[in-house]
């Protein structure tokens, strides 16, 4: 597009294969972490997870961090019904629980709610989440008379850093990363911002008036593909 090579900052680490995929299109991606996550280690939470493992619950996951935190505490395979977001969250869920336990998946929380509401005979779910979880899913389910037990199994910690270099674009994967980045940084208007999901995009808009391109699908691969499509002009992102 505007120059022979494009410089991108990803606010989450990327696999080398994805970085190489972009390099082949003269798009060079650097990574810097702006948040960290850690599983909750409080004994009461651990015991709750273990107790739920022995029950036939309907479990909901919207984050791979929640999935990993729960899986790390399970010693036996539970007979859960599971709903989760797609992308890496789905990959982690199916790798441990198997595809047969996955009752529904979707690209965002709104679509996931629709699948849960449509499920027959479902009156209660356990939502495994982080301390910065969004309100949309539990509030929507409660409006449809589905009881939601929320269990915080991981914490998100902002790790802001000052960025000296001017990039052509920056990739954001969560509202927490957006808050962390803009706590120390401002951007020229020419920088294009990529965000996973409408909530992350809306958070970006609260800090700047730059162009924001939204990926409706979760996952780093979809984000990298969107960046490549945008800067190579192979897809209309207007």
What does pTM read for this prediction? 0.84
**6-34+160-232 CATH:** 3.40.50.10090
Q: One fold for both 6-34+160-232 and 37-156?
A: yes
DSSP string, 136-192: HHHHHHHHTT-EEEEEEEEEEEE------SPPSEEEE-SHHHHHHHHTT----TT-E
Q: Is the dihedral of CA 236, 171, 179, 142 positive or negative?
A: positive
CA separation for the pair 207, 202 (Å, rounded): 9
CB atoms < 10 A from the CB of 94, how many?
Answer: 16
pLDDT single digits (tens) 24-74:
999 999 999 999 999 999 999 999 999 999 999 999 999 999 999 999 999
Q: What's the CA gap between 55 and 69, in Å, rounded?
A: 18
Assign 144 a pLDDT band (cuts: 50, 70, 90): very high
Mean pLDDT for all residues in the chain:
92
Q: Which CATH number fits domain 37-156: 2.70.240.10, 3.30.70.980, 3.40.50.10090, 3.40.800.10?
A: 3.40.50.10090
Q: Where in the chain are the domains?
A: 6-34+160-232, 37-156
Q: Is the pLDDT of residue 235 over 80?
A: no
């Amino acid at each position: 597009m505007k120059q022979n090579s494009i410089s991108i900052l990803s606010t989450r680490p990327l696999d080398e294969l994805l970085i190489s995929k972009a390099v082949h299109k003269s798009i060079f991606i650097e990574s810097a972490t702006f948040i960290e996550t850690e599983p909750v280690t409080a004994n009461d939470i651990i015991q709750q997870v273990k107790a739920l493992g022995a029950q036939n619950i309907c479990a909901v996951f919207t984050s791979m961090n929640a999935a990993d935190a729960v899986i790390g505490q399970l010693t036996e395979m539970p007979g859960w019904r599971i709903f989760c977001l797609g992308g890496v969250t789905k990959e982690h869920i199916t790798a441990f629980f198997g595809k047969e336990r996955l009752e529904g998946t979707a690209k965002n929380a709104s679509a996931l709610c629709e699948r849960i509401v449509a499920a027959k005979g479902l009156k209660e779910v356990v939502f495994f989440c982080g301390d910065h979880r969004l309100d949309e899913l539990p509030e929507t389910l409660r409006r449809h008379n589905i009881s939601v037990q929320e269990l915080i199994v991981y914490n998100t910690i902002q790790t802001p850093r000052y960025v000296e270099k001017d990039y052509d674009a920056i990739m954001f994967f969560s509202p927490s990363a957006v808050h962390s980045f803009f706590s120390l940084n401002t951007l020229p208007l020419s920088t294009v911002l990529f965000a996973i999901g409408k909530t992350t995009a809306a958070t970006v808009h609260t800090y700047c008036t730059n162009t924001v391109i939204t990926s409706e699908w979760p996952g780093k691969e979809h984000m990298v593909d969107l960046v490549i499509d945008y800067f190579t002009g192979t897809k209309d992102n207007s």
